[in-house]
Amino acid sequence: MNPSDCIVIGAGFSGLQCARQLHDAGLRVTVLEARDRIGGRTRVTELAGRTVDIGGQWIGAAHSELQTLARSAGVQELPQFTDGARLLHLDHGGRDRLKRYRGLIPNANPLALLELQRAIQTLTKQQKALDLHAPWETERASEWDHQTLDSWMRRHLRTRTGREIFDIAVRSVMTAEPGMLSFLGFLFYCASNENFEVLTSVESGAQAATVDGGMVQLAEHLARPLTAAELIHLEAPVAEIRRSDPSSGLVVTTADGRAFQAPKVVCALPPALQDRIRFDPPLAANRAQLANRMPMGSVIKTVVAYETPFWRHNGLSGEAVSHSLPFNTVFDATPPSGEFGALVGFIDGAPARRWSSATPEARREAVLTSLTRYFGEQARNPLDHVEHDWITDPWARGCYVGLFTPGVLTELGPALRAPCGDIHWAGTETASEFCGYIEGAIRSGQRAAGEVAAALA
């Protein structure tokens, strides 16, 4: 066994940031990654001859650490295309309607609009009561944590249209239904990312920009010194973390029997994956239960290429949302060269779980049928099409983030970040700021590296 000062499990942005920070501080680091690549929940593929993101891709307007990393990597940031009208699709009792709108809230009947505005204002007001570092200590924490977002929504939104628009927004952000989510957890998620409006906005919001050539370039830049020193081991899923002797530190064993030793370990994984590892001695009960109490969201991401961005010629931005069509959240993804047009979108929440069991051909047809309803018959015949089902990805089990289900924060929340002896935790789920985003992953890696460095000093 080659001893290190710290073993980092997971080569997503949180693990890479942690390892890079420790390495730059002169500590010996080993990174173990189960996949055959780095980047975690970011991933690229080829579409019509160009590299495109099929995983996490957006840089938010307030994502300062990610912006700094992008500048350091020398990549080109591309503002998300927003020129033109957006589309809202609703289907009420067979009455299929497609509406154009501009701004945050779609056109709807006046009562629904008023309800939505008041609901968003209430969310913004209530989130101010939260301590981002300990939301479980909020005065109304138990009350809010043991009710679902769905029950809150039904009290504040009485119109069907208002509830459906709010549900669309929640599913697009959380890739889960309001009934699965703790109201306290959702309030925390909003506050962690500034507010609900920022989460659902493009300009000045969480979807402000993308990276030409793919987000993975930033992971590769972050990993460069680690890769050069051969400190990252790919296809090395961890099977066990064991402490047999207090004086010998921790022994981390991979599925193929390789053993690594260090006084400190950082697990940079979503809670839903920690049960793939055997811990000896076992984890404290509160930390162990997070694996079962924080399931991942459900999403299938698809990018479709066309000869031209024809929707732009029709005065549309390429943004479209629906409460009933399978492909229910769509954005323009046309490359800056203009060599082809592209739309990127998601099947999320319950529809994603249903469509995950379908054939790729059936999903492609569902995507194209949805796009045809949004943008017309020109959407029926693409140049190319790629998808990734994050639900069936064995090293993700879903995306975008582990969900705060009812009761989790007040019952188990302190265990999210608290070290278990010499085992520390990173990952965007542990972030107090920008939870759920790459920005949060980076900041969690910084925090975990600081904990390890301080303990080893």
Residue ranges of alpha helices (H) inside 215-313 are 216-228, 285-293, 310-313
| CA distances (Å), origin 229, targets 8, 30, 31, 330, 350 | 15, 10, 11, 41, 44
pLDDT at 92 over 90: no
- The answer, yes or no, to whether the previous bond of 246 is cis (omega within 30 of 0) is no
Task: Name the percent of the chain lying above pLDDT 70.
Answer: 99
Q: Work out the pLDDT band at 93, boundaries 50, 70, 90.
A: low
CA distance 329 to 400: 14
Average pLDDT over residues 345-350: 97
Complete domains list, the chain, with CATH? 6-40+215-295+403-456 (3.50.50.60), 44-82+206-213+299-389 (3.90.660.10), 106-199 (1.10.405.10)
Mean model confidence pLDDT for the chain? 96
Average pLDDT over residues 268-297: 97
Joined tokens for residue 364: 């492609």
Residue 426's pLDDT is: 98
The candidate with the shortest Cα–Cα distance to 395, out of 306, 269, 309, 287, is 269
Q: Quickly tell me which residue has 């981390």 as its tokens.
A: 252
- Which of 33-37, 88-92, 290-294, 382-386 shows the lowest per-residue confidence on average (mean pLDDT)? 88-92
CA distance 267 to 193: 23
Residue 75's pLDDT is: 97
pLDDT at 224 over 90: yes
Strands 6-9 and 29-32: parallel
Residue 212's pLDDT is: 96
Task: Name the percent of the chain lying above pLDDT 90.
Answer: 93
pLDDT tens digits, one per residue of 296-339: 999 999 999 999 999 999 999 999 999 999 999 999 999 999 99
Residue 109's pLDDT is: 81
pLDDT at 95 over 90: no
Residue ranges of alpha helices (H) inside 25-148 are 64-73, 110-127, 141-145
pLDDT at 247 over 80: no
pLDDT tens digits, one per residue of 44-63: 999 999 999 999 999 999 99
User: Under 8 Å CB-to-CB from 426, ≥6 apart: which residues?
Assistant: 10, 14, 15, 17, 18, 266, 267, 268, 441, 444, 445, 447, 448
Residue ranges of alpha helices (H) inside 1-63 are 13-24
Residue 94's pLDDT is: 66
